[in-house]
Amino acid sequence: MNPLTISGWVELGGKRLSPQAIEKIVTTSPEDILRFGGEFSLDWSGCSARDCYGVMEGRGPKGTLLCNGEVKGQINPDVPDMSLEDAIITAVQLRSDEGVTALSGGVDSTLVAFLAGRECVTVGVEGAHDLAQARRAAEALGLSCTCVTITVTEIEAVLPLVIPVIPDRSPVNVGIAVTQYFIARWAGEHGYRRILAGQGADELFGGYSRYLETPTLEADLERDFAGLEGQARRDQAVAALHGTYLSMPYLDARVVRAASHIPAAEKVKDGRRKIPLREVAERHIPEDLAWYEKKAMQYGSGVWPVIRKLARKNGYKTSVQDYIDYISRVDHGL
């Protein structure tokens, strides 16, 4: 048997598995792989397996056990039905034995940060919304949070590093990826491999402002949830530049299952979004933080306005996409 390569972490029946335990299962009872939970990519002797939501990048499709090109089964984590609150608490606990939390001050990351109780980090240009809000949230919760101020020069320098590694080079994705780059850089420089993050909450609970107006909320949520694998591919590619990876408690099978039992109409109503998540959050964090409406990452960090100004400075006054395409061609021949 070729050596087993493990990226991420694995659980079975609510218990974290050691690398030795995973290797034993792979060798003696591979059928148990189909019950694996966690965030993982496994590779051995012509076989591969990835977690069911594709959080970790790897060989083969998400949620599939593949051997020598043949599908051996679909991975369906062995987890019980739980209340949303218990599911989130369990998901964070399973991930909080190590790592740093990416804190922006919104309800998604603030709840994770409180439950994990780990050091936090936030990034933004000087005067950015997220720096101030994350600092306020950390102080209210008694958490340690490093606020990293990034400059225009730094953002310009990392664009050629980030753009080639992400699969979708749209302006929105580039703005998010650049912000993630600085979070991952700080984490890597300080010896962290795992970055706990709030990704997935918007798609599970209805966090985007467009959900307030749509007549097809349930279909929109399903479509956007299906797109999370692409987002994970973007984020993990950037994190890997610094030897780190993002861990996403809201994409735990327990949380996804609990969220699926909540009607879409209860997630977004009366002008409010992510209602079930906020109701859970207010039992753990101050009410004003639980119901705080936050800007998207690329705006809250101040990265997006900088990229737009850089595009103009370089002669692309009407199209940030053209500026991104130019960087791709000049720096990496894409």
Asked if 70 and 90 sit in the same domain, the reply is: no
Residue 219 reports pLDDT greater than 60: yes
Q: Is residue 92 part of a domain?
A: yes
From 53, 74, 95, the end of a domain falls on 74
Q: Is the pTM of this model over 0.85?
A: yes
Q: Is residue 318 part of a domain?
A: no
Asked if 162 and 38 sit in the same domain, the reply is: no
Asked if 61 and 93 sit in the same domain, the reply is: no
Asked if 194 and 252 sit in the same domain, the reply is: yes
Retrieve residue 235's tokens.
């984020």
Q: Is residue 323 part of a domain?
A: no
Structural domain span for residue 28: 5-74
Asked if 123 and 210 sit in the same domain, the reply is: yes
pLDDT tens figures, 294-308: 877 778 899 999 999
Strands 100-102 and 47-50: unpaired
Q: What is the overall mean pLDDT for the chain?
A: 94
Nearest partner of 202 among 176, 228, 230, 238, judged by Cα: 228
Q: Is residue 108 part of a domain?
A: yes
Q: What are phi and psi of 119, to 5 degrees?
A: -60, 150
Q: What is residue 181's predicted lDDT score, i.e. its pLDDT?
A: 97
CA gap 286, 18 in Å, rounded = 36
Asked if 133 and 189 sit in the same domain, the reply is: yes
From 42, 74, 106, the end of a domain falls on 74
Q: Is residue 334 part of a domain?
A: no
Asked if 198 and 253 sit in the same domain, the reply is: yes
Q: Is residue 68 part of a domain?
A: yes
Split into its structural domains, the chain has a count of 2
From 16, 41, 74, the end of a domain falls on 74
256's CB contacts (< 8 A; 6+ apart) are 53, 204, 250
pLDDT tens figures, 133-169: 999 999 999 999 999 999 999 999 999 999 999 999 9
Asked if 139 and 233 sit in the same domain, the reply is: yes
The HSE-up count of residue 44 (CA atoms within 13 Å, CB side) is 20
Asked if 88 and 222 sit in the same domain, the reply is: yes
Asked if 50 and 161 sit in the same domain, the reply is: no
4's CB contacts (< 8 A; 6+ apart) are 19, 22, 23, 26, 42, 43, 44
Asked if 148 and 39 sit in the same domain, the reply is: no
Q: Is residue 162 part of a domain?
A: yes
Retrieve residue 139's tokens.
């102080």
Q: Is residue 310 part of a domain?
A: no
